Amino acid sequence: MMELCSIASGSSGNCIYAGTDHVHLLVDTGISKKKIECGLNEIGLKADEIDGILITHEHSDHVKGLGVMSRKYGIPIYATAGTIAAIERDGRLGEIDSSLFHPILPETDFMIGEIAIHPIRTSHDAADPVAYIMKSGDRSVGVITDLGKYDHSLVDNLSDIDVLLLEANHDVNMLQVGVYPYYLKQRILGDKGHLSNETCGQLLDEVLHDGIKKILLGHLSKENNYPQLAYETVKMEITMGSSPYKGNDFPIEIAPRDSLSELITI
């Protein structure tokens, strides 16, 4: 059995729970300690039951609560060496006990209890970013956000995933005509930015298989997307794509910005 629940997912903060009956993990802590604790309580867990925090990269919307969480609970932190160095350089999170940091390598599996974790290198404008696939037995969940493009390696990694939280950050047209300054628009649209709704749907079209149980669309921009627009665009890309599947063939939902998704159990 594996579980996945989005506690918060969006451009203003990200924190995802994944675990089994015996091992409980967080992917990112980009919201306040109080919100993390409340979210965990809603799914029947306490923060002191968390066995590890997997950090994707050092941007604030992914690490905002890391300092206070680590100081309060002493939870081991797993991240690439580049990400750890960037967090320690920044200083805004306050003092974090260096013994809590456990450096990991992209594309190299490691274990936390009964969960095997596969970090995947991503194309994003951070020091050394990764996404994560977590497996226990024959069940697997993936949290794949903050990437400007995808490649065959990522497609291969997702080829047998059971549950997937995937970034659908922005609608290209909304971003292009929106209020963001030109440099920020170019950053988001670039190869080290974020996946658009269209690109998210195209990636899904390449990785869908009969065994997928659930898809969550996450990390939506508050300013450059709407949940319904992301949902409809992704489904249309699947329907129009080269796979044999249609957009309605799989349960697709939006991970809420400021509240919990359902607790998905497989």
Residue 165's pLDDT band, with cuts at 50, 70 and 90, is very high
Exposure letters 39-51 (e unless 16+ CB within 10 A, then b): bbeeeebebeebe
From 216, 213, 217, 115, select the one nearest 162 (Cα to Cα): 213
Give the model's pLDDT for residue 156: 97
Which run of H or of E encompasses 142?
strand 139-144
Give the model's pLDDT for residue 228: 98
User: What tokens does 225 get?
Assistant: 């997307």
In tens, the pLDDT along 59-118 reads 999 999 999 999 999 999 999 999 999 999 998 999 999 999 999 999 999 999 999 999
From 172, 122, 125, select the one nearest 150 (Cα to Cα): 122
In tens, the pLDDT along 250-261 reads 999 999 999 999
Query: In one letter, which amino acid is 132?
Result: Y
pLDDT exceeding 90 applies to what percent of the chain? Answer: 99
Q: Is residue 200 classed as helix, strand or coil in its secondary structure? A: helix
Domains in the chain, ordered, with CATH?
Answer: 3-257 (3.60.15.10)
Mean pLDDT score across all residues of the chain: 97
Query: Taking a C-beta distance cutoff of 8 angstroms, is the pair 202, 237 a contact?
Result: yes
Query: In one letter, which amino acid is 125?
Result: D
From 202, 24, 56, select the one nearest 120 (Cα to Cα): 56
Gap between the Cα atoms of 184 and 2, Å rounded: 37
In tens, the pLDDT along 210-232 reads 999 999 999 999 999 999 999 99
The mean pLDDT value for 156-175 works out to: 97
Q: Is residue 234 classed as helix, strand or coil in its secondary structure? A: helix
* pTM, two decimal places: 0.97
